[in-house]
Amino acid sequence: MNIYVGNLPYTVRDNDLLEMFQAYGNVSSAKVVMDRETDRSKGFGFVEMSSDDEGTNAINKLNGHEINGRALRVNEARPREDRRPGGGGGGGGGDRRPKRW
């Protein structure tokens, strides 16, 4: 199960996240999302747990849990949206000059 963890204090790192969730089961991975330019935490991360039961238990126990005065938001992660370069684009272009009859 893939779990989203939001509202993390900016001091939390991957190992902290790993330790926090290991109390509730086997953690496959724990990753705090970092800003590439500043190398500072963006305040959220993802944890992958081996089983859905362990993941559900961790979500139930840690959602709303306070760390350094910040209440964590913990829930099942949604699938990542496809972000292809180039954006959505517009409609059909065509000739935009005024018609002359």
Q: By residue range, what is the domain housing residue 35? A: 2-76
Tell whether 98 is covered by a domain: no
Tell whether 97 is covered by a domain: no
Distance CA(66)–CA(91), nearest Å, equals 47
CATH of the domain at 66: 3.30.70.330
Tell whether 18 is covered by a domain: yes
- pLDDT tens digits, 6-64: 999 999 999 999 999 999 999 999 999 999 999 999 999 999 999 999 999 999 999 99
- pLDDT tens digits, 55-92: 999 999 999 999 999 999 999 999 877 666 665 555 55
Tell whether 46 is covered by a domain: yes
Tell whether 26 is covered by a domain: yes
Distance CA(4)–CA(44), nearest Å, equals 7
Tell whether 82 is covered by a domain: no
Q: What angle do CA 10, 14, 16 make, to 5 degrees?
A: 75
- Using CB atoms within 10 A of its CB, is residue 6 exposed (0-12), middle (13-18) or buried (19+)? middle
Domain count, the chain: 1
DSSP state of 63: T
Tell whether 92 is covered by a domain: no
Tell whether 59 is covered by a domain: yes
